[in-house]
């Protein structure tokens, strides 16, 4: 019996090592995607062209109008000059801020009380995250000047290699898979310009380059987020919480880690709490959106944990959770797990300067309130979307603002 257990343990260890080695190779392959000067056409930037681009952007940020790219008339992926005129950079930041206001009013509310430099940096980073998510999970089409889109040979080679390395069959239809993966491939190309000597003509990556240079943001966090989007095409079930945690880390913890680079911190332990912050918020989203995800054929709740409460994948996908006797006890247990990460996340706040605390505090506050509502409703996330109304948001924002902008000085 002892010999059998030893063999089983050895097999498990070897399997874990094999998985880790494979993931490291995949991560290295993804991070190697690079846009180089000899592979692109460049455009000459004149003061007149730049001023026209800035002028075209002015006035298009109103709520009822489409937010247009100020540089979409430039048919090239990079600028020829490395030193971009300040008004071009400011236009890029203005675009990111307008995008944030229009598509994430709640998040922008947490940014707007930051010092100007940090606020604009947060908007640039949010715009990057928003567009990656819109490509992977929405109908936004990210165009790359000079590419052949889904038919691009370089993109197709990248996709084939990823499939080979991941060793899984995509869980979305082939046409969508190729289309979205190719867009994310070129999205990675744009990201590389934030870390090399090129400058993208995409306003998001133009502002992002300035942000990552100012705050020394490691590329791995941004690469990991795109990786999380790509992995979503290969996986629509998570067997264990450990599997889910890896996904949460990529799409959410990396966000927390970038945010604290922008906020600024001194205690290295802040990184542990920033990681927990991302997991906390992502788990709340997963619990709140369980039906919406099920309607798309996805189950983010750990299958292993659901099974302990007698819940099968079919119960989730066929909308039987609300009446299932195991649902409420599962939710109670899942919320307890979320609260562990919530408490770790809250410990981040004292590690930040008082003027920086309101931004993460308001985001945490909104999600804590949503979690409380789910608990009060006995896990009913099906009758209506669990969210805060305007009065609740304003009241919460005011109390948090007073606490973290004034009371911390006494």
Domains of the chain: 236-410 (1.10.600.10)
Q: What is the pLDDT of residues 261-278, one digit of tens each?
A: 999 999 999 999 999 999
Could you tell me the pTM of the whole model?
Answer: 0.90
Whether the CB-CB separation of 187 and 135 falls below 8 Å is answered with: yes
Whether the CB-CB separation of 190 and 219 falls below 8 Å is answered with: no
Whether the CB-CB separation of 174 and 181 falls below 8 Å is answered with: no
Q: Give the pLDDT of residue 44.
A: 60
Flag whether pLDDT at 58 surpasses 80: no
DSSP 24-56: HHHHHHHHT----GGGS-EE---HHHHHHHHHH
DSSP 308-348: HTT--HHHHHTT-TTT-TTHHHHHHHHHHHHHHHHHHHHTT
Whether the CB-CB separation of 89 and 210 falls below 8 Å is answered with: yes
Higher pLDDT, 328 or 395: 328
| 391 vs 224: CA distance, rounded Å | 36
Q: What is the average pLDDT score of the chain? A: 88
Q: How many CB atoms lie within 10 A of CB 307?
A: 14
In which band, very low, low, confident or very high, does the pLDDT at 1 lie, cut at 50, 70 and 90? Answer: low
Non-local CB neighbours of 381 within 8 Å, separated by 6+ positions: 287, 288, 289, 290, 291, 374
Q: Quick one: tokens of 26?
A: 């995949």
Q: Give the pLDDT of residue 399.
A: 86
In which band, very low, low, confident or very high, does the pLDDT at 40 lie, cut at 50, 70 and 90? Answer: low
Q: Give the pLDDT of residue 409.
A: 45
pLDDT > 70 in the chain, percent: 87
Q: Give the pLDDT of residue 59.
A: 43
Flag whether pLDDT at 291 surpasses 60: yes
Q: What is the pLDDT of residues 342-372, one digit of tens each?
A: 999 999 999 999 889 999 999 999 999 999 9
Q: What is the pLDDT of residues 173-192, one digit of tens each?
A: 999 999 999 999 999 999 99
DSSP 341-389: HHHHHHTTGGGS-HHHHHHHHHHHHHHHHHHHHHHHTTT--SSS-----
| 256 vs 342: CA distance, rounded Å | 13
Q: Give the pLDDT of residue 405.
A: 63
In which band, very low, low, confident or very high, does the pLDDT at 45 lie, cut at 50, 70 and 90? Answer: low
Q: Give the pLDDT of residue 299.
A: 98
Mean local confidence (pLDDT), 59-74? 67
Place of tokens 């990656």: 132
């Amino acid at each position: 019996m002892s010999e059998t257990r030893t063999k089983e343990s050895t097999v498990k260890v070897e399997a874990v090592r094999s998985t880790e080695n494979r993931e490291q190779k995949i991560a290295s392959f993804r991070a190697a995607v690079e846009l180089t000067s000899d592979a692109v056409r460049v455009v000459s930037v004149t003061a007149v062209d730049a001023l026209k681009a800035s002028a075209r952007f002015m006035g298009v940020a109103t709520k009822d109008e489409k937010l247009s790219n100020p540089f979409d008339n430039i048919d090239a992926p990079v600028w020829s000059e490395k030193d971009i005129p300040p008004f071009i950079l400011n236009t890029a930041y203005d675009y990111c801020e307008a995008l944030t206001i229009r598509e994430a009013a709640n998040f922008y509310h947490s940014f707007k009380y930051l010092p100007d430099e940090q606020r604009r940096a947060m908007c640039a980073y949010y715009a990057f995250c928003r567009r990656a998510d819109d490509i992977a999970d929405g109908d936004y089409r990210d165009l790359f000047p000079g590419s052949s889109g889904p038919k691009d040979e370089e993109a197709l080679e990248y996709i084939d290699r990823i499939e080979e390395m991941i060793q899984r069959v995509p869980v979305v239809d082939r046409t969508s898979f190729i289309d979205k993966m190719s867009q994310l491939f070129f999205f990675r190309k744009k990201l590389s310009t934030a870390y090399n000597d090129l400058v993208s003509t995409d306003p998001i990556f133009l502002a992002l380059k300035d942000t990552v240079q100012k705050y020394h943001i490691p590329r791995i966090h941004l690469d990991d987020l795109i990786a999380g989007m790509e992995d979503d095409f290969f996986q629509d079930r998570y067997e264990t919480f450990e599997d889910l945690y890896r996904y949460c880390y990529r799409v959410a913890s990396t966000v927390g880690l970038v945010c604290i680079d922008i906020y600024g911190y001194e205690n290295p332990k802040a990184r542990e709490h920033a990681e927990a912050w991302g997991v906390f918020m992502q788990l709340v989203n997963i619990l709140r959106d369980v039906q919406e995800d099920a309607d798309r054929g996805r189950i983010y709740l750990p299958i292993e944990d659901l099974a302990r409460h007698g819940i099968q994948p079919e119960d989730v996908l066929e909308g039987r959770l609300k009446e299932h006797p195991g649902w409420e006890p599962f939710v109670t247990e899942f919320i307890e797990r979320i609260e562990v990460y919530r408490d770790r996340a809250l410990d981040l706040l004292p590690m930040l300067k008082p003027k920086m605390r309101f931004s993460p505090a308001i985001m945490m506050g909104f999600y804590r309130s949503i979690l409380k509502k789910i608990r009060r409703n006995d896990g009913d996330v099906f009758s209506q979307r669990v969210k805060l109304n305007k009065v609740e948001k304003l009241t919460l924002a005011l109390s948090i603002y007073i606490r973290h902008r004034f009371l911390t000085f006494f």
